[in-house]
Amino acid sequence: MDAAAFSRDLIIPTFVVVTYVGEDTGGEAYTISNEVSGKHFSANATAVSFLEVLRETGSYAQACVSTGLPDPVAQNTLAQFMRYGVVVAQGVTNQDLPKANQPLEAKAIMIRFDLFDAAGIAARFAGLGRWAFSAVGLITWMLLGGWAIASVALRPDKLVYAIAQVPAINLQGIALFALCFVALKIVHEMGHALAYQEMCRRDGIASGPIRMGLSIFAMTPFPYTNVTGAWRLKGRMPRAIIGAGGLYLEFFVVFGATLFWAFTGAGPLQDAVFQVAMFAAVSSLLFNLNPLIKLDGYYIMTDLLGLPNLAGRGSQAAVRWLSLALGAEVARPDRRALGYWVLSYLYRWVIFAGIFWISYQFDPRIGAVVFGIVITMLIVRPLSRSLKQARGNGARLGRVLAGVGCLAAICVLSVIPFRDRVLLDGQLSRFETTFVQVPEAAELRLDADGLPVLESLELVHEQRDLQLRRQIVESATRAIARRPSGVEIARLQTDLVQLDEMDGNLDRRATSLRVTASPDSVWTPLAARDYAGAWVQPGQAALGAISTATTAHLVLWLDQRDFEAGLLSRADSAPLLVRLEHAPDCEFQAQMVQTEAQLVLRDGAVKLRATIDLPAPPCLAEAPSGAGAVARKTAEPKSLFQRAKNSVERALQDRLPIETLLE
């Protein structure tokens, strides 16, 4: 806005109304309203005096002299009046006015689009509003809620079944859910409008326009209702009722939907109704009633406690605290407002973390972009803006530079690589253990060495049958050789090829049944029925284990999420430093052995093998097989940023296929 605007005649339209709401409402003593646009805001006595002088004289200079406002404060006050249409200056439009500087991070969490005036719609349902927000309506609401809760509690089996159906929802169910949820949210916003209209009627003032629109909260669209005219009401409770009116009317529908679900049979509509009711209840607790974001819970809390504009005052308290820390001579911040700002700031991190997680699951590259945006909007921009304001409050330049230098040092240190290491739990093993599985139905018996033998009678019969068929074909081939016939020879050759294929298949089956073990191996059955003479079926758990004595080695386990490329690669020949758990003084070195044949994945952990370097220490000879061990391996240097990135990726990524673990 140019300076010439202050010298023009200023006009206050007749539809601008000042309402005295009293000092006991928790806010300012006055509310200034534009009854045409539906814009309302609180004002103190000085701002109202400034407006009244403008109404009488139309002179900005005279208003400054009469009220004693400093020129910068008066300019900001006039700009706000003009932005809300309270003051009009010839030749000045909204495009000429300075825009309200809402933080970008707040816009990213919630964006609003004003669409239409819902006052006419609310007027048609005024009777419903009068009944709902009366004592009779409240009693009915409480009885209906108790009945709905009891109905669910008395049907635990149906509740469990309904919850189990949620993951199996189909496209039809999603469509029904969306329709029901949108309808429920419209009822919610009408609850705010009806409550506002009813409270205005009781206070004897006109409600004026009730603007409705669409808000996008955490990438999710929701309708919203602008009821800032509630600041004209005398008393805190009416404003709190308006803030709770949306959930109040919404839960009328939720309770009714719950009773419909409880007393009707199963079906797509019943499932959708139940899912919407449960989702509405959960989302109300997590979002709508959460006072850390400017939704219903925030306005209910601030109205009841008499703490208007708590979010704005919290931001001012944070800037004031930073200014004090940097040496500025300003008043101490309000502790309550500062505490609210801290909690609200942490909650913003939770919201952005959810957005980041969804983005990362969709595409890690998008997640990386979102991560950069999050750091910019939650750290870089707020901090730079706060430092600028602190400097304007008189913060010492030396302290500001020192603070910026510390932040720069942290940023530099976060990208400098430092030595890294990884610890692996494991055990000392002096045996190679192989578990015996059942590929097909067979009889289990023990040979002379006490080792298992699997024998399939079906396989034996098929092998004998194949042998007889081969003898027949070979005899026919010899007979034809004495009287050659091209057609018959070709047919017999085809039969021989088929027999060879069948023979190969039978050999592979026989190989799968063959248990490989040396004479000094030990067979340990895992169940009593798996001793000699038992018949076993495929699909069972392992029959037993065959243990064969071998050179002492280490079996190590590493969480699959930690098995990242470069941490334990084939090219890395750095030794392991190993220490036995029962004998911490027994230390030795080992070498990691990584081949696909030895790589095993079990319960989300990767099994690794390491050979012990010679000469082995004497203490190792006394250690029994199975002794616990901890191995430490030096990994490639990583910066703090890389470590944080790896930690986040390990926390977010799905388990990788075993084929991709080694590069």
DSSP codes of every residue in 152-208: HHT-HHHHHHHHHTSTT--HHHHHHHHHHHHHHHHHHHHHHHHHHHHHHHHHT----
**C-alpha–C-alpha distance, residues 616 and 430, integer Å:** 14
The verdict on residue 662 lying in a domain is no
Provide the 3-class DSSP secondary structure of residue 535. Answer: strand
Q: How many domains, the chain?
A: 5
Of 478, 501, 477, which is closest to residue 489 (Cα–Cα)?
477
Of 330, 298, 326, which is closest to residue 312 (Cα–Cα)?
298
Per the CB < 8 A criterion, the answer to whether 238 and 202 are in contact is: yes
Give CA separation, 550 vs 425, 433, 517, 598, 610, in Å: 21, 10, 13, 15, 13
Same-domain status, 151 and 277: yes
Same-domain status, 192 and 239: yes
Owning domain of residue 275? 108-308
The verdict on residue 651 lying in a domain is no
When the pLDDT of each residue in the chain is averaged and rounded to a whole number, the result is: 79
How many residues are given for the chain?
A: 663
34 CB burial (10 A radius; 0-12, 13-18, 19+): buried
**C-alpha–C-alpha distance, residues 556 and 570, integer Å:** 16
The verdict on residue 613 lying in a domain is yes
Same-domain status, 460 and 398: no
The verdict on residue 419 lying in a domain is no
Same-domain status, 378 and 446: no
**C-alpha–C-alpha distance, residues 252 and 140, integer Å:** 9
The verdict on residue 656 lying in a domain is no
Give CA separation, 130 vs 9, 136, 137, 253, 401, in Å: 45, 10, 9, 17, 60
**C-alpha–C-alpha distance, residues 24 and 311, integer Å:** 20
Task: Provide the residue type at 293 as one letter.
Answer: I
**C-alpha–C-alpha distance, residues 94 and 84, integer Å:** 9
**Taking the CA of residue 413 as centre, how many other CA atoms within 13 Å lie in the half-sphere pointing to its CB?**
6
Does pTM surpass 0.85? no
Same-domain status, 488 and 562: no
Same-domain status, 51 and 68: yes
Residue that is last in its domain, among 56, 71, 101: 101
The verdict on residue 283 lying in a domain is yes
The verdict on residue 433 lying in a domain is no
**pLDDT at site 663:** 36
Residue-wise pLDDT for 530-586, tens only, equals: 566 677 777 667 777 788 888 888 888 877 666 654 455 545 567 888 888 888 888
**C-alpha–C-alpha distance, residues 623 and 102, integer Å:** 68
Task: Provide the residue type at 2 as one letter.
Answer: D
- The set of long-range contacts for 377-381, using a CB threshold of 8 Å and a minimum separation of 24, is 377/104, 377/105, 377/108, 377/352, 378/105, 378/345, 378/348, 378/349, 378/352, 381/103, 381/104, 381/105
Residue that is last in its domain, among 69, 101, 133: 101
- End-to-end alpha-carbon separation of the chain, Å? 63
Same-domain status, 236 and 148: yes
Per-residue burial over 187-217, b = 16 or more CB atoms within 10 Å of its CB, e = otherwise: bbbbbbbbbbbbbbeebebebbbbbbeebbb
Q: Which two tokens stand for residue 411?
A: 């940023």
Same-domain status, 91 and 141: no
Same-domain status, 298 and 316: no
**C-alpha–C-alpha distance, residues 422 and 22, integer Å:** 66
Give CA separation, 661 vs 594, 601, 616, 646, 657, in Å: 11, 10, 31, 15, 7
CATH number at residue 559: 2.40.30
Same-domain status, 166 and 298: yes
**C-alpha–C-alpha distance, residues 360 and 338, integer Å:** 33
The verdict on residue 420 lying in a domain is no
Where the chain has pLDDT below 70, the residues are: 1-8, 22-28, 35-38, 90-110, 217-220, 481-486, 527-533, 539-540, 560-573, 594-604, 646, 648-663
Same-domain status, 228 and 139: yes
**pLDDT at site 565:** 42
Same-domain status, 331 and 394: yes
